[in-house]
Amino acid sequence: MNKQSKIYIAGHRGMVGSAIWRALEAEGYTNLIGKTSKELDLRNQTAVNNFISTEKPDVIIDAAAKVGGILANSQYQYEFLLENMQIQNNLIDAAHKHEVSKFIFLGSSCIYPKLATQPLKEEDLLTGPLEPTNDGYAIAKISGVRLCKAIRDQYGKDFVSLMPTNLYGPFDNFDLKSSHVLPAMIRKFHEAKANSEPVELWGSGTPMREFLHVDDLAQAVIFAIENKLPEHLYNVGTGTDVTIKHLAETIQNIVGHTGEIIWDSTKPDGTPRKLMDVSKMNNIGWKASTTLEEGIKDTYKWFLSNVENYKEVKM
């Protein structure tokens, strides 16, 4: 790919898509395109097909998805399964029909079985039952991975799937009803500090999670754009994890909250552990560079700069 290649980023205003856009611009790519959901409904097959036919991008990056935490995933299984399949199927099929040179499909570590041996390897896919609380989202993403693999195997096209671990960073979702654990904690500790209150968190604090700053994922996407990856599926993460309790204490320290943390063990923990084996990506030349503490500081700084907007829109 050259710096004038036309690159369409689906979901360019989301946390992941906007990070990829910023990173590509910083690397000198000048022909980036994106459409808001109002301008292009990715669930509409005809609209997506017409858009790709007209624009003829060289690369499509699928960073568009319906996402959420444990609460949202468990309550809206139908929407998470249906809408994510609609989005990715429309994009993948249009890319195939209109001879798009490269397609990068972004998923999640939740595609792997709940009790798979740690760390999670790409070969673990479809070897056991999924975590029930995000079954719909995971099945949708698994179908996207298999669809890209089928096109790659059957037609020899450069379609690749990148599965990031838990992401966070600027433009994250801090809405407590639909956010993931790290941004939810940032907001909870921030508000508790302002109100001199304790913080109540779900579960026991013992599950272990791996967290990747979204800017590191953006660099992995650029690596996939600039290189033809030899396999169809790659894990993208740091290769290290921490307990939820450690995460909470790290965020508490960075935010400056000094009150009590109360763990509600009647609430679900989710998957006991999710650590990615990232040796395949590391071995071909990509590695994450942002430490968890650095990443949380960066994310909290962004949150503080945008907190009034979140109060207006989300609270």
188 is in an annotated binding site: yes
1 is a domain residue: no
Residue type, 226: E
Q: What CATH number is given to the structural domain containing 55?
A: 3.40.50.720
> pLDDT tier at 269 (50, 70, 90 boundaries)?
confident
108 is in an annotated binding site: yes
Number of domains in the chain: 1
93 is a domain residue: yes
32 - beta bridge partners? 7
176: DSSP letter: T
Strands 166-168 and 211-213 turn out to be parallel
Instruction: Indicate the average pLDDT of the chain.
Output: 94
Q: Which domain holds residue 194?
A: 7-313
Residue 308 has pLDDT above 90, yes or no: no
Q: Residue 313 has what pLDDT? A: 42
Residue 171 has pLDDT above 60, yes or no: yes
43 is in an annotated binding site: no
146 is in an annotated binding site: no
**Of 8, 29, 112, 137, catalytic:** 137
2 is a domain residue: no
289 is a domain residue: yes
Digit-coded pLDDT (tens) for 78-111 = 999 999 999 999 999 999 999 999 999 999 998 9
Q: Order the strands of the 59-62 sheet from edge to edge.
A: 32-33, 7-10, 59-62, 102-106, 158-164, 233-236
273 is a domain residue: yes
CB 92 within 8 A of CB 144: yes
259 is a domain residue: yes
| Residues 48-55, mean pLDDT to the nearest whole number | 98
d(CA 212, CA 288): 8
For the chain, list the strands marked E by DSSP: 7-10, 32-33, 59-62, 102-106, 158-164, 166-168, 199-202, 208-209, 211-213, 233-236, 242-243, 261-264, 273-274
Active site residue 29: no
Geometric angle at alpha carbon 144, from 140 and 152, rounded to 5°: 165
Instruction: Tell me the C-alpha to C-alpha distance, in Å, between residue 150 and each of 19, 93, 144, 261.
Output: 28, 12, 10, 48
Tell me the two tokens of residue 223. 């690596």
User: At a CB cut-off of 8 Å and minimum separation 6, what does 73 contact?
Assistant: 80, 133, 134, 136, 137
37 is a domain residue: yes
156 is in an annotated binding site: no
